[in-house]
Amino acid sequence: MKKLLCSIAGLSFAFAGALAARAQTPAAPPPPNLLNIETDNVKAYDFVPYNNIAEEYPALSMKTKQPSHYLALNSLTGAPRAIYLFDYDSYESMQKQTEDFIGNAAVKARFDALDAEEGKYTSEVHNVVWHYRPDLSNNPAGADLPHSHYWELVIFHMKPGHDSQFEELTKIYKEASAKIGRQNVPWATYESLQGAQDTYLVLIPMVSLKDEDAGLSSMQAFGEALGEEGGRRMDKLSDEGVISVEDNLYMVNPAASYVDPNWVKADPKYWAPKPAMKPAPKPAAAPAPKPAQ
């Protein structure tokens, strides 16, 4: 099988270890209609000073009552990078929040100062607007987002005019997953609108990286469910329409995230840990007795 098959098969099993726990979790709200994802390429070995600055943004966002929440992720594989997921219902809401932010000169200046400090540790910043594709997603209500501390992001770069190949690949994948009892596995697919062309993003939140271990043990079953004919069809669709596939793991940085209050309520120890108590000061040593005269 081509790398495409390995990557897309990984989607099915990323949640294998967490499905039972999620059965007890209330249904998640639908994914946002639009995502603006900012990618900061961090200079080699500069993640520590970069994060020191990045972790100042949430407190400033809370203090200035910013309406746009965001999730911060740090790369575990691939090049060193941090990404931030900003969600919007529409372009109109994106416009309003942007104009309100720019219109408040005092608030903007404070964020600009942080940007300048953070910029010392980044080589590039890039933004892409993505549109949610429910027809290419699966059971997003089954995801336990507040407790998902790891994410897998799979990006498919397609040849221009070959969107139908990606749609058929997704259909074949869903059918094979159903054959092995994975029809309820959640993932969300987004299509690029601005900042990238002919690109699809599959978002896979994970409670634990143990979910990846479960996926490795299930690859054979997926291949058998796909069958030789299905495998050949996926190879053909890949050759016709796919330029490349990027598959990377990320770890949530809760200290650099500014998430919905409901997420904090669901997992307060993770999203809003109490600061460690400082040890009580030691009593001052008694003065040495004066020598006898």
Mean pLDDT in consecutive groups of 10 residues from the start of the chain, 293 residues: 42 40 59 97 97 98 95 98 97 96 96 98 98 95 94 97 96 88 83 98 93 77 90 95 97 98 96 72 61 56
pLDDT for residue 179: 87
* The 3-state secondary structure of 199-268, one letter per residue: EEEEEEEECCCHHHHHHHHHHHHHHHHHHHHHHHHHHHHHHHHEEEEEEEEEEECHHHCECCHHHHHHCH
What does the domain layout of the chain look like in residue ranges? 3-265
Q: Does the domain spanning 3-265 belong to CATH 3.30.70.100?
A: yes
Torsion of CA 257, 259, 265, 269, to 10 degrees: -10
pLDDT for residue 7: 46
pLDDT for residue 202: 97
pLDDT for residue 21: 40
